[in-house]
């Protein structure tokens, strides 16, 4: 931010455009998750649900929800120029996001055996799509954390942190819909 610094007026104009852009991206992305949910309900009960582990499901869900709290804390902290809390909370979010990824891809996937049926296919596709978004969020967090440690971002100019937080909350909200659709309904008895 040294050689091509822009005036606060320019920054505010850009910021408002960036915000709208991000929200439009989220609206767009929501449609793909919506489509997956629709597919899930459309094919509900036509084949046996995979043997998911409820404990793992509950743990990863709690971890992800908790991570959103720390993400919010990080953003609020940088908005108040509290650099230490910002960095610490970002790191916690990063760790929790990684735990979520390991929980879903590393623990849940091997347990819930893929049998080629529609419900099983959707389980892996939906968790896979979501895990991919979490992964991109984790990479985003890494970028923010690294730049934060290098002294970037201030109370006035921290768009990247804000964007990362909004995106992270979005991924979290998606899981709030996916968790019941994948873990809590559609028992084989249907």
Partner 1 sequence: MSKMNASTKAPSGPTALSLVRGLAFLVIGFLAGAQLVSMIRLAMGLPLYLPWNPKANQYLFTEPAWVLGVVFGTVAFMIGTRVFDDWFRWAKGEATPEHPEAYQPKGFARFLTISYDHKVIGIQYGLVSLLLFLLAGSFALTFRTELAAPGLQFMKEGSNIIGMDGLQFYNTIMSLHGIIMIAAMLAGVAAMSNYLVPLMIGANDMAFPRLNAFSFWVNIPAAIWLVLSMFLGGFDTGWTGYPPLSAKAPLGMQMYFSAMYFVGMSSIFGSLNIIVTIVKLRAKGMSYFKMPIFVWTAFATSIISLTATQLIGLSFQLVMFERLFGMSFFNPVNGGDPILFQHLFWFYSHPAVYVFILTGLGVISELLPVFVRKPLFGYRWVALSSFGIAIVGFLVWAHHMFTSGMAAYLRVPFMYSTLLVAVPTGVKFFSWVATIWEGKMTFQTPMLFVLGAISIFLLGGLSGPPNGVVATDLHVQDTYWIVGHFHATMFGGFVFPFFAAIYYWFPKLTGRMYNERLGKLHFFLMLPAFYLQSLGQMQVGLLGMRRRIADYDAALGIDTSQLLITIAGYAIGIAVLIAVYNFYISAKRGAIAEANPWRSRSPEFMLPSPIPAHNYEQPFEVVGEPYDYGLAGSVYASFKPVKPVDTGELPAGAQPAAAD
Residues that bind partner 1 (CB under 8 A): 1-10, 12-13, 16-17, 20-21, 24-25, 27-29, 31-32, 35-36, 38-39, 42-43, 46-47, 116-122, 124-125, 143, 146-147, 150, 152
Q: Which of 132, 120, 70, 121 is nearest to 95 (CA)?
A: 70
Minimum CB separation from partner 1 for residue 82, in Å?
20
| Residue in the block written with tokens 């309904």 | 185
* Cβ at position 62, least distance to partner 1 in Å: 28
Report the candidate in 106, 20, 103, 116 with the shortest Cα–Cα distance to residue 60. Answer: 103
Identity of the residue, 17 or 102, whose beta carbon is nearer to partner 1 in the bound complex: 17
Taking the complex as a whole, the smallest distance from the CB of residue 137 to partner 1 amounts, in Å, to 14
118 contacts: CB under 8 Å, gap ≥ 6: 43, 46, 47
Handedness of CA 105, 111, 116, 120 (dihedral sign): negative
* Closer by beta carbon to partner 1, 43 or else 79: 43
Name the minimum Å distance from CB 1 to partner 1: 5
Nearer to partner 1, 21 or 180 (CB): 21
User: What is d(CA 27, CA 82) in angstroms, rounded to the nearest whole number?
Assistant: 31
Q: Which is nearer to partner 1, 107 or 142 (CB)?
A: 142
Phi, psi of 71 (to 5 degrees): -60, -45
Cα separation of 149 and 117, whole Å? 47
CA distances from 41 to 84, 97, 171, 185 (A): 45, 27, 20, 10
CB 16 → partner 1: shortest distance, Å?
Answer: 6
For residue 9, the SS3 value is: helix
Q: Compute the least distance from the CB of residue 142 to partner 1, in Å.
A: 9
Nearest residue (CB) to partner 1, 96 versus 119: 119
Measured from the CB atom, the residue of 132 and 155 that comes closer to partner 1 is: 132
């Amino acid at each position: 931010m040294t050689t091509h610094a822009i005036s606060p007026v320019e920054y505010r104009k850009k910021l408002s455009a960036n915000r709208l852009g991000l929200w439009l991206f989220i609206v767009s992305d929501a449609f793909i998750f919506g489509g997956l949910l629709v597919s899930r309900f459309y094919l509900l009960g036509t084949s046996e649900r995979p043997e998911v582990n409820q404990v793992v499901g509950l743990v990863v869900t709690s971890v992800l929800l908790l991570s959103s709290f720390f993400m919010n804390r990080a953003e609020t902290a940088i908005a108040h120029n509290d650099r230490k809390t910002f960095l610490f909370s970002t790191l916690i979010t990063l760790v929790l996001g990684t735990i979520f990824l390991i929980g879903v891809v590393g623990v849940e996937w091997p347990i819930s055996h893929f049998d080629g049926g529609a419900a099983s296919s959707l389980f892996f596709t939906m968790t896979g799509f979501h895990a991919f978004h979490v992964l991109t969020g984790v990479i985003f967090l890494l970028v923010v954390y690294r730049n934060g440690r290098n002294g970037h971002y201030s109370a006035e100019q921290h768009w990247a942190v804000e964007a990362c937080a909004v995106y992270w909350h979005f991924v979290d909200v998606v899981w709030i819909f996916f968790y019941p659709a994948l873990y809590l309904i559609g028992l084989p008895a249907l």
